[in-house]
Amino acid sequence: MSWEARRTIAVLFIAIPLLIAIYLCFNSHLLYRNNLDVTEGYVIGRILVIIFTLYLFSKIGFSIFKSTETK
């Protein structure tokens, strides 16, 4: 795989989590259901899982991006 393709993949791994995070900031109805009995712990747990997943994707993107800078 060429370094240009790796760099493109790295940028996608960095940009997609940022776009998802921005989308979730404006459309928070995805974090909880429309039920009135939603507990705060469920919403907080779901937010933490989303944050951790987005963090891992961006970390993969940065590691791929750094490996392409050496060339």
**Domain layout of the chain by residue ranges:** 3-69
- Among 62, 57, 63, 65, which residue's Cα sits nearest to residue 6? 65
Q: Measured between alpha carbons, how far is residue 39 from residues 2, 25, 52 in Å?
A: 48, 20, 21
**Tens-digit pLDDT profile for residues 11-65:** 888 888 888 888 877 777 777 766 656 667 777 877 888 889 889 989 988 888 8
Euclidean distance between CA atoms 42 and 26, whole angstroms: 20
What is residue 36's predicted lDDT score, i.e. its pLDDT?
58
3-state secondary structure of 58: helix
CA distance linking residue 7 with residue 14, whole number of Å = 11
Are 65 and 11 contacting, i.e. CB atoms less than 8 angstroms apart?
A: yes
